A = this chain, B = another copy of it.
C-alpha cells in the first residue's frame, strides 16, 4: 500500500518539509499548492493578461491555482490541512470541506488555540494533530503498522 497525500493550507512555515522528512522511506507521493506567495497571487494576470480591478486580478489567479488544487485533492488518499497562527486561511478550510465532500481521509493540523473555532473542521477529520511530526507518525503507522518510540 502506498499513499498519495495532499498538503493544504498555511504557507509561511516549514511544516510541509517536516512531514516529508518525517515520512522518509515510506511509499508516499506528496503534493501541495504553489507555496510561492507572489507567484500564487499574480499567476492569473502574469499569464492571461493584466486586470486593473484588484478583484479580477485575484480572481484570475485563484482560478489558475484551482487547476492544481483540484488535481491535488482529487488524486489524494489523504488530505492534510494546516491552520497557522495568523491570517484568515479560508482557503484552507475550503479545501478541508472540499476534501471531506469527496470522502478523502482528512488530517487537520493546528495549535490548541484554534480548537473551538475549528470544531466543525476537526469533526470531519480522522486525525487532529498539533505537530507535523504527529502527521508523519500517523502516515507511518497507516502504511507500516509501526508506532513511534
A side interface size, CB within 8 A: 86
Closest to A128 in B: B48
Contacts of A48 in B (CB 8 A): 127-129, 134, 138
Q: Contact: A66 with B1, CB < 8 Å?
A: no
Q: Does A64 contact B (CB under 8 A)?
A: yes
Identical copies of this chain, number: 8
Closest to A101 in B: B101
Q: Is the interface of A mostly helix, strand, loop or mixed?
A: helix
Q: Does A21 contact B (CB under 8 A)?
A: no
Q: Chain A interface (Cβ within 8 Å of chain B)?
A: 1, 3, 31, 34-36, 39-40, 42-44, 46-49, 53-56, 58-72, 74-75, 77-78, 83, 87-103, 105, 107, 114-130, 134, 137-138, 141-143, 145-149
